[in-house]
Copies of this chain bind each other. A is one copy, B any other.
Amino acid sequence: MTPPVPLHLSLAGQAVDVLREQVLTGEIPPGSRVNEVEVAQKLGISRGPLREAIRHLASEGLLTLVPHRGAFVPDASPEDVRALFELRTALECAAAELAASRRTDVDLVRLQDVCAESRRNYRAGQPFPYRLDLAFHQTLIEAARSPYIAEQVRLVQQRVVLLRSSLDDDPPHQHASMDDHDELVRAIADGDAARAATVMRRHLSRVCAQMITSLTR
């Protein structure tokens, strides 16, 4: 029952985790460069494993590589956001359809729980935390039981987080999102794949528009 991977993650693996965190939290701001020797010293490792970590993050879209120049944290144009959300929509609509036809009862309970917690948070005056939004989509993906789609959604979500630099949602948008989530759960509960896809598409369309406006202002 012991995990097949060693408890000691390789240095490269550890570096991936640390760097990913720093990039996603904005600790390494978009547009900035990642100096190999500097970061390697800071992490206490050699350049070899760090390079592998950098390449890995680049393959996830969290860094862009320029030959002989190094790795940069990408900053997004509205056009990028639009194109990225086309991919996200394709993936998550398919996931919504699959979830509607494959969900178990415990999947349904989990989805409802996340929605309920969102409402509680919102009613308590606190803003709808992005954490719960991620949790909802994550739960939905698991209910779809399609490992390849799940993996790709994870990567896209990450890139969305990266672009989401301190995007403080306004309450109307939060309310609409929660309504979308509720409607999605109902469609999935009914096993209505077509409606689940439609609602997901509308939801993501709204989120995308909101991100673009909050990006351009």
Contacts and interface: CB of A to CB of B under 8 A. Distances in A.
A94 interface: yes
A182 B161 CA distance: 40
A84 B148 CA distance: 6
B90 A149 contact: yes
A121 interface: no
Contacts of A5: 67
Interface residues of A, number: 28
A83 interface: yes
30 contacts: A5-B67, A6-B67, A51-B52, A52-B52, A52-B55, A55-B55, A55-B56, A56-B59, A59-B59, A59-B60, A83-B147, A83-B148, A83-B149, A84-B148, A86-B94, A86-B98, A86-B146, A86-B148, A87-B148, A87-B149, A87-B152, A90-B90, A90-B91, A90-B93, A90-B94, A90-B95, A90-B149, A91-B91, A93-B94, A152-B152
A131 interface: no
Contacts of A10: 67
Interface string A37-54: 000000000001001100
Interface of A: 5-6, 10, 48, 51-52, 55-56, 59-60, 67-68, 83-84, 86-87, 89-91, 93-95, 98, 146-149, 152
Nearest to A151: B87
Contacts of A60: 59
Dominant secondary structure at the A interface: helix
Contacts of A83: 146-149
A6 B152 contact: no
Nearest to A144: B86
